[in-house]
Structure 1
Amino acid sequence: MSDREGPDHLTKGEIAKDAVEATAQAAATAVGEVATIITRAIGDIAGAVGGFATEVFEIRDASRRASQEHLSAVDADADGAESD
């Protein structure tokens, strides 16, 4: 320790090491934040695509049921017309 008052006296090497360390920490933090954003976005996209697929299946099933009901109604009308 020194009896001098005032700022610490750091060598150029210590200053460079601290700068590299701070830069590495900042880079790691930024990469982590970007990875979190990307991970969340991928999850959101997967959820949206899954929801869309569910809607498509429901629309297809509803269309199939409507077609079957229509054909049943047409057959019932044809049977009723033949018996008249």
Structure 2
Amino acid sequence: MVGKLERNKDLVQDIVENTAHRVGTIASIITTAIVDVTREIGDLVTDGFEMREAAKAARSAETTDEDAQ
């Protein structure tokens, strides 16, 4: 028969293991979310740079066309 002390030890062990697993899962979720958000922000900034460059090229082409006429 299992004594009270051994039952309590098993209970504490289960609680600590379960808590560690849950904390690890939560940390993984948060880490993945941070990576995803950072990637999206980077893509947004890159799109902004590309649009700015395209606008510059369009203005430049427009100026060149006006000078040619």
TM-score (norm 1): 0.77
Q: Highest Rg: 1 or 2?
A: 1
1:14 aligns with 2:6: yes
- Stretches of structure 1 lacking an aligned partner (at least 5 in a row): 1-8, 78-84
Q: Give the aligned partner of residue 55 of structure 1.
A: 47
Aligned to 1:39: 31
| Alignment length (residue pairs) | 69
- Could you list the runs of 4 or more consecutive aligned residues of structure 1 that deviate by over 6 angstroms after TM superposition? none
CA drift at 1:69: 0.8
**Gap runs ≥5 in structure 2:** none
Shift of 1:24: 0.3
- Matches of 2:57 and 2:5 in 1, distance apart? 77
Separation (CA, whole Å) in 2 of partners of 1:66 and 1:31: 52
State, as a whole percentage, how many aligned pairs show the same letter. 35
Is 2:50 aligned against 1:66?
A: no
Query: What does the per-residue CA deviation read over 1:19-71, in whole Å, with 9 as the maximum and x for residues that have no partner?
Result: 01100000000001111111111111111111111111110000000011111
Question: TM-score normalized by structure 2?
Answer: 0.92
CA RMSD, 1 decimal: 0.9
**Higher normalized helix content (fraction of residues):** 2
